[in-house]
Chains A and B, each alone.
Chain A
Amino acid sequence: MKSTPSPRSLDELTLDTRFSIQELISRESFEDLLGSLRQLFGVSLRVFAKGGALFAESGPGSPLQTYLGSLPGGRRAVRETVETVKSAEPEAKGAIRLSCATGERYAVIALQYDGRSLGRTVIGPYLDLQDGACPEGLSKCDPLLVPDRLNEAWSAIPKCSESSIARLVEHLKCVLDLILFSGHRALLASNMHLASVQESYRELSEKSATLQNAYERLKELDRLKSNFLATVSHELRTPLTSIIGYSEMLVAGIAGDLNEEQRDFIATIHEKGEQLLELIKGLLDLTKLESGTLNLHKLDIPVLPILKDIVHTLTPTARNKGVILSATGDAGIPTLWGDAARLRQVFLNLTENAIKFTPSAGHVTLSAQITHVALASDEDEGPAIVLRGVKRPMIEVRVADSGIGIPEGERARVFDAFYQVDSSSTREQGGTGLGLSIVKRLVDAHDGTVHIEENSPRGAVFVVRIPCKRLSFMG
């Protein structure tokens, strides 16, 4: 025997079909039905479960039985009948008719479903229409018996013709069969619902586990890729340093004089070597940012000097392209909380990018201002948001260009590593696609945000927001 109940299997419910009557029929409703049959036919009905326990009855028992039961001699007189009624095992078809020593009659019918016994139904007591007065012997069964009370109880026994009883038996069999069938059907349907849900759940859990495994494997592959990038970048840098160093020495004439053409060639080698070194540094930064090993030295720093320095650095590049580069900002804006060198890299990357995609006679403008940003609810560090205040002061740096702009659908993806809006091999603009990815990761590491807006009438605005102060309960 199982100690805990579990839903019964489909096979148990269909092949076995060893039910108890309690499983298939609601007792209260069933007693209502028996009560209404009693009203209709005038006789009492009792249903016993398999094993003999009373399951349901149409109402109080027979007054004669109750009265005789209160007397020792009366109890003796009816004992035999009670035993017979209790032990009678009727066949599936038909009913057993029993006559009691008291003169009362009973009909017992089998309660069966799918060829299995579920119990018995006892109809009665009743008297046939021809039955006369109370048997004489009955009044002498006990010295304390009061004849008037016996006669009163006798006359209360319902009279019913055998043909009505036969009709009742047929009717009851039909009704019981339907009720048991419906009960079985409902039991099966509810168990099937449960089993189907369990089965679907099992199926989904398996699929989910497979997906989880695939996800873990991809994460591992991603980690391996980052490691690989870091190692390769590092290994590339060493010989490159020699190439740059020796080309510098050649240009400086350490190995002897060079003619104009040789100097040009070596200058190109040097320049391209430097470009390659920048790219490798970018890759190294990216892998460090991905693995979380990049250390930021955060301080309170003013933003305007950084922007002005960038304009100063990139003005020659902008001028070569015919792009006008400028920086604006309120002198009184607060400092921000960050790593000056890394933030410089952020704004430098964005500005270089802006110049690259802006045609001649276009503008690239850097501006800084303070803004207050509502806290997202999932930004839940420390105690409740309500204690911290809902708005957070941030420095907003906008790098606006009048270039080709970025289509709405591409705006989130440009921050992915190696992503290029125009990835065709014939694209106009060069680049590795690393710059913006590094920007995004550095800004994230500063607990800030970066997004792209549209510039009017054309171009794109990269908006970077960096917190003024550490985000903490202390403020």
Chain B
Amino acid sequence: MQLDFTARELTIKLVYYGPALSGKTTNLQALHEASVPEATGRLMTLETRDDRTLFFDLLPLTFSSAKGLSVRLKVFTVPGQVIHSSTRRLVLQGADGVAFIADSREGETEHNAESYRDLRENLKQNGLTTKQLPLVLQFNKRDMPNVRTEAELADMAAQGREPVYLATATKGLGVVETFVGLLHLTWQTLDVKHGFIEKFGFDTSAFFADVLGKLNHPASLTDVLNIRVGGYGARREVMP
């Protein structure tokens, strides 16, 4: 996070983590697609020849609150393949929040777990833990055959503290919800730490109204957040 008092500008870094081919880039593409042109710049991808992410993808988004504070969001993905561990660590540095994109298919469970262990290890190397960092989980590829059932995921999510979202990123389903869920959790965590709301008279509801408006998402913040499965204990009540 970076705060520029004079320009009244706050920059937040969000990272989409997860195993190879779980749909991190697709999430960013769908998010880019959903947002209005004035809120976003070009989606930057640094990829290899075979369309796999080499270093990261970067989506810049800019929103604002009623009091004229502009919030610049930099949304990153990491390269999922195991060998790019040092790159993942670099991209993860200074992240304010992480969305973990998991593959819902039964056969991918071990890859998800392995990638999560990698996330924990890389956070540790950066001096952080998964407990300190705002984290949301997304089970992507819900439209694929042999996916873990919603009941099973809901049951397991209820035991954990992280909010879980279900998504089909290729169709844009659940993408905005995951993003807004992550942004909201990150926002609350940063506010507890830095007291933005008090210091700047920042208007949270106006800000999220702007976010949802610029992402062409007609639902209210409460509705969007309530789509999550589990993670109810992780967060305070949604602010009015």
Interface residues, chain A, with chain B CB atoms under 8 Å away = 9-11, 14-16, 114-115, 181, 184-185, 188-189, 192, 195-196, 199-200, 203
Interface residues, chain B, with chain A CB atoms under 8 Å away = 2, 11, 13, 41-42, 44, 46, 55-56, 58, 60, 62, 72, 74, 76, 86-87, 89-91, 93-94
User: Is the Cβ of B55 less than 8 Å from the Cβ of A189?
Assistant: yes
Partner of A115, one of B42, B72, B76, B90: B72
User: Is the Cβ of B46 less than 8 Å from the Cβ of A14?
Assistant: no
Please list 16 pairs of residues, one from A and one from B, whose beta carbons are closer than 8 Å in the complex, sorted by A's number.
A11-B2, A11-B93, A11-B94, A14-B13, A14-B58, A14-B76, A15-B11, A15-B72, A114-B41, A115-B72, A188-B44, A188-B55, A192-B90, A195-B90, A199-B86, A199-B89
> Please, which residues of chain B bring their CB within 8 A of the CB of A114?
41, 60
Q: Which residue of B lies closest to A177 (CB)?
A: B42
User: Is the Cβ of A15 less than 8 Å from the Cβ of B94?
Assistant: yes
Q: Closest CB-CB distance, B146 to chain A, in whole Å?
A: 35
Are A192 and B87 also in contact (CB < 8 A) when A14-B58, A15-B2 are? yes
User: Is the Cβ of A15 less than 8 Å from the Cβ of B13?
Assistant: yes
CA–CA, A196 and B78, complex, Å: 13
User: Is the Cβ of A189 less than 8 Å from the Cβ of B46?
Assistant: yes
Are A181 and B44 also in contact (CB < 8 A) when A15-B74, A16-B2, A199-B86 are? yes
User: Is the Cβ of B42 less than 8 Å from the Cβ of A181?
Assistant: yes
Partner of A184, one of B44, B62, B89: B44
Partner of A196, one of B41, B58, B74, B86: B86
Secondary structure of the A contact surface, majority rule: helix
Q: Which residue of B lies closest to A189 (CB)?
A: B46
Q: Which residue of B lies closest to A14 (CB)?
A: B74
Q: Which 5 pairs between the two chains have the least Cβ-Cβ distance?
A: A199-B86, A192-B55, A15-B11, A200-B86, A11-B94
User: Is the Cβ of A199 less than 8 Å from the Cβ of B44?
Assistant: no
User: Is the Cβ of B44 less than 8 Å from the Cβ of A185?
Assistant: yes
Are A196 and B87 also in contact (CB < 8 A) when A11-B94, A189-B55 are? yes
> Please, which residues of chain A bring their CB within 8 A of the CB of B91?
10
Q: Closest CB-CB distance, A385 to chain B, in whole Å?
A: 44
Q: Closest CB-CB distance, B79 to chain A, in whole Å?
A: 10
CA–CA, A453 and B56, complex, Å: 58
> Please, which residues of chain B bring their CB within 8 A of the CB of A200?
86
Known: A15-B13, A188-B55, A199-B89. 14 other contacts (CB 8 A): A10-B93, A11-B13, A11-B94, A14-B13, A15-B72, A15-B94, A115-B72, A181-B42, A181-B44, A188-B46, A192-B46, A192-B90, A196-B90, A199-B87
CA–CA, A189 and B90, complex, Å: 13
CA–CA, A196 and B13, complex, Å: 19
User: Is the Cβ of A196 less than 8 Å from the Cβ of B94?
Assistant: no
> Please, which residues of chain A bring their CB within 8 A of the CB of B2?
11, 15-16
Q: Closest CB-CB distance, A201 to chain B, in whole Å?
A: 9
Q: Closest CB-CB distance, B16 to chain A, in whole Å?
A: 14
Q: Closest CB-CB distance, B83 to chain A, in whole Å?
A: 10
Q: Closest CB-CB distance, B63 to chain A, in whole Å?
A: 12
CA–CA, A369 and B76, complex, Å: 75
CA–CA, A185 and B46, complex, Å: 8
Q: Closest CB-CB distance, B75 to chain A, in whole Å?
A: 10
> Please, which residues of chain A bring their CB within 8 A of the CB of B90?
10, 192, 195-196, 199
Q: Closest CB-CB distance, A111 to chain B, in whole Å?
A: 15
Partner of A203, one of B74, B76, B86, B93: B86
CA–CA, A115 and B11, complex, Å: 12
> Please, which residues of chain B bring their CB within 8 A of the CB of A189?
46, 55
CA–CA, A196 and B90, complex, Å: 8
**Looking at B44, B74, B76, B86, which has the most chain A CB atoms within 10 Å of its CB?**
B86
Q: Which residue of B lies closest to A204 (CB)?
A: B86
> Please, which residues of chain B bring their CB within 8 A of the CB of A14?
13, 58, 74, 76
CA–CA, A188 and B45, complex, Å: 11
CA–CA, A14 and B73, complex, Å: 10
